[in-house]
Amino acid sequence: MIINTDQVKSVLKSDFTAPQIAEESGLKPRNINNYRQGLADFENMNLKYLAGLQKFYNDHREDTPMEELKITGIRKAVGDFNRWQGAARVYFDPSDMSVWTNVYGGPGEENHYDDPAITQIAQKATNRMDERDDRITMRQIREAVAAALVSKTK
């Protein structure tokens, strides 16, 4: 991965809160705030933080048409999905452009919606230990929503 320090600095100067950045990047909010406030020297930032902030920047850059999609509930859906260490599914409703995460006690559980337009766009299960900690980003949800919208028009 190539690290662009200007892009990393732009994340630190952005309006995203430290908890939002931490939720998606796996970094600690306190350390993000320390870099923002100058309590920690940017020049001494370790590779883990540089890579995490670069990935966050890449996931949130504004240069793709997907970024123009107004999706209701996307931050909450990402947070709920990433915090839950069990089976979880992200659903999309094109009628109001909303997404949400449902969490489950086991991998075989799921919700059935009466509206056929509501679709599942992401999932993780607990029957495999390597899937328990799967994470999702806002960009991945945007891509899944864009794909769902394209498939609905075909």
62: number of Cβ within 10 Å? 6
Distance CA 138, CA 89 (A): 14
Helices in the chain by DSSP H: which ranges?
5-12, 18-25, 29-37, 47-60, 74-83, 138-153
Distance CA 128, CA 107 (A): 9
pLDDT at 42: 92
At 16-65, the pLDDT tens digits run 899 999 998 889 999 999 999 999 999 999 999 999 998 888 887 654 45
Residue 67 near residue 142, CB atoms below 8 Å: yes
pTM of the model: 0.56
Q: How confident is the model at residue 82 (pLDDT cuts 50, 70, 90)?
A: very high
Torsional sign, CA 102, 92, 119, 112: positive
At 129-153, the pLDDT tens digits run 666 668 899 889 988 888 888 776 5
Q: What is the mean pLDDT of the chain?
A: 85
Whether residue 14 is predicted with pLDDT greater than 50 in this model: the reply is: yes
